[in-house]
Chain A
Amino acid sequence: MLIDGLLIGGLIIVVGIGFSLCFGVMHIVDFAVGEWVMLGAYTGYIMVRYFGYDPMIYLPIIFLIFCGVGWMIYPLIYRAVSGKRHNPVIMGLVFTFGLSILAKGGALSVWGYHIQSITTWLSGKSISIGVLTIPALRFAGFVFGILVTILFMIFLYKTKFGIIIRATAQDRDTANLLGADVRKIGGLVYSLYAGVTGMSGVLIGTLFSIHAAMGAKYCTLAFFVVVLAGMGYVPGVIIAALVLGLLQSFVGVYIGGRYTLVALFMVMYGVLLITPKGILRRGI
């Protein structure tokens, strides 16, 4: 149970990092995060259905597709949060909220309420480490999560572009003054975020069922992780995802499965009230 929570945590970390970076760089809270996961899962499902082969080989293609979609949507978001608006943060929030309604409605209209799933060559197999037996697919998801996180960290901490992104996340205006093209960086971050989230959507689709209203669940998890980590503080996401896994297993075992969501929302609300900058007090 505990291991289960931690393994799914790997995927949540990936979603959370993109989401957190998005907030840090552009000050946008993306209410459509769950919808990106849902669209990623459906894209994977459609590709497997029409072209065959294993969903794992489509991951890079889906990454590129979603990067492209994010890149095309970004100018609209930029327009929503800039210009002569007297409340840019709220406008951005409502815009992504509109996007999420649009995506959810579109998915419901096209695919309806049917539940789908993707099968891969890993489905049904399991790996045993010592006394533990872990489903291979969950392990693959975990490995994927760790890999993407490490790549993300290398990109953020070792490349020049990553330094610019972090500088922008720390102080947008100063970075802009020092010659960072905030608009371009925002576009890059948003497309990266969309790509990575879509890609983890495929893996989530192989682990759990796919349906048009699945976005809400992942939206909740991503928000929880990012709020706990401190919005905009990327390394905190890893710790917050661990806390999420522990909390879910703990409440599920000791109090009862139906209390898990109540506990999640209570903790989220409590953290926002007590330390809005996250449990590590490092957010913005």
Chain B
Amino acid sequence: MELQASKAQAVPVPSVWRFTPLGLLLVICLILPWLASPLWIRIATEVLMWAGLAQSWNIIGGYTGYLCFGHGAFFGLGSYVTGLMMVKLGWPFGIGLLFSGILASLLAVIIGYPTLRLRGAYFAIATWAFGEMVRQIATILDVTGGAFGLQLPSFLNLRYFYYVMLAVTGLTYLTTYFLLERARFGYKLLAIREHEEAAEMVGVDTVSIKMKAFALSAFFPGVLGGIYAYWVTYIHPDSVLGAQLTDFMVVMAFLGGIGSLWGPFLGAVVVQLVQRILWLFWGEGTFYLVIIGAAICAVVLFIPNGLIGLMESRFLSPREAVSQLRKTFKW
């Protein structure tokens, strides 16, 4: 417990050298669309979107310790709000995005108020039920086009969507850095994750803090959902509200390392690249699910801090690994 808290506080003083890798990453991200082929621009846009989604899940799932299995609902709400505003009302894309984010946050506040009282497994199941409920409602309603989906006006400019996605995902990471890693707000969230009663004892207003975190973590999926809708131009309850959306957010955040700034980014890059590379070489397949499922099990069992934690820790010697396995199976 103390270890986690001190780790979060012990961010070393920023120096020029510390920001070199970050600057390099930024430069690569900025010039990528002028070097890569359209296929790779698409893949990079996808990676960015997932990085943003995984990070926004991480705000509530990783930092606050409330496992939300219904986060896909906010993404779906965002894409439908943007889609409907552009199609039915004829409003510009940007305003649609803003509304998507705000409405997603509002929804998070409304459902968060009763749901955040639940803890652990109960919260996970309740949010899962909520997410599925939203999907079923979108399938039934007429305004969303029901099971036939919704067609948006098409605007085919890959670089435009790449940069919009980059901007929003960048904003997600900046918000996480400044609000969660660098401010008291983040410490309060960590306190809630580690011991909620104790946090309340020392004066953290847990109810409002949890609500704020939930609303914040719902804002970005809403906006990203709006961009996604305009990017792919056709949305359907299964594609923007499906269970795989939430699944992937959870998987990426866990694989990369929950409760860390760069974990979800790493997880999103790894998962999305594995999926796309398998797809490029062997065609449309489902084998990536096997790899991802096995990876998530292995992460939970052996490196609970995720890939980012693996980088910081030393590797086990073969002998230690065998003894660990032996302990697990009681050989």
Q: Which of B79-134 contact A (CB under 8 A)?
A: 114-115, 118, 120-122, 124-126, 128-130, 132-133
Complex: A160 Cα to B120 Cα, angstroms: 31
B314 within 8 A of A: no
When C-beta atoms are compared, the residue in chain A nearest to B133 turns out to be A265
Partner of A272, one of B129, B300, B304: B129
Complex: A51 Cα to B67 Cα, angstroms: 45
With contacts A98-B300, A265-B132, A276-B118 known, is A109 near B286, CB below 8 A? Answer: yes
A234-266, CB under 8 A of B: which get 1 and which 0? 000000000000000000000000110110011
Q: Which of A6-57 contact B (CB under 8 A)?
A: 23, 27, 29
Min C-beta distance of B132 to chain A, whole Å: 5
A143 within 8 A of B: no
Inter-chain contacts of B137 with A (CB < 8 A): 262
Q: Contact at A90–B67, with CB atoms within 8 Å?
A: yes
Of B31-39, B200-208, B228-236, B288-296, the one contacting chain A is B288-296
When C-beta atoms are compared, the residue in chain B nearest to A283 turns out to be B122
Inter-chain contacts of B243 with A (CB < 8 A): 216
Q: Contact at B136–A261, with CB atoms within 8 Å?
A: yes
Partner of A102, one of B118, B124, B297: B297
With contacts A76-B301, A94-B250 known, is A268 near B129, CB below 8 A? Answer: yes
Residues of B contacting A: mostly = helix
Residues of A contacting B: mostly = helix
Inter-chain contacts of B291 with A (CB < 8 A): 105
Inter-chain contacts of A276 with B (CB < 8 A): 118, 122
B134-145, CB under 8 A of A: which get 1 and which 0? 001101100000
Q: Contact at A94–B330, with CB atoms within 8 Å?
A: no
A79 within 8 A of B: yes
Of A62-70, A80-88, A168-176, the one contacting chain B is A80-88
Min C-beta distance of A77 to chain B, whole Å: 9
Complex: A250 Cα to B321 Cα, angstroms: 56
Q: Contact at A109–B287, with CB atoms within 8 Å?
A: yes
Q: Contact at B136–A105, with CB atoms within 8 Å?
A: no
With contacts A108-B286, A265-B129, A273-B114 known, is A94 near B254, CB below 8 A? Answer: yes
Min C-beta distance of A52 to chain B, whole Å: 30
Min C-beta distance of B261 to chain A, whole Å: 19
With contacts A94-B250, A265-B130 known, is A99 near B301, CB below 8 A? Answer: no
A88-108, CB under 8 A of B: which get 1 and which 0? 011101110111111111101
Q: Contact at A272–B118, with CB atoms within 8 Å?
A: yes
Complex: A35 Cα to B194 Cα, angstroms: 32
Contacts from B to A (Cβ < 8 Å): 1, 4, 65, 67, 114-115, 118, 120-122, 124-126, 128-130, 132-133, 136-137, 139-140, 193-194, 243, 247, 250-251, 254, 285-297, 299-301, 304, 328-330
5 inter-chain pairs at a CB distance below 8 angstroms, sorted by A residue, are: A29-B125, A98-B294, A101-B292, A101-B296, A262-B136
Contacts from A to B (Cβ < 8 Å): 23, 27, 29, 75-76, 78-80, 85-87, 89-91, 93-95, 97-106, 108-109, 216, 220, 223, 227, 231, 258-259, 261-262, 265-266, 268-269, 272-273, 276
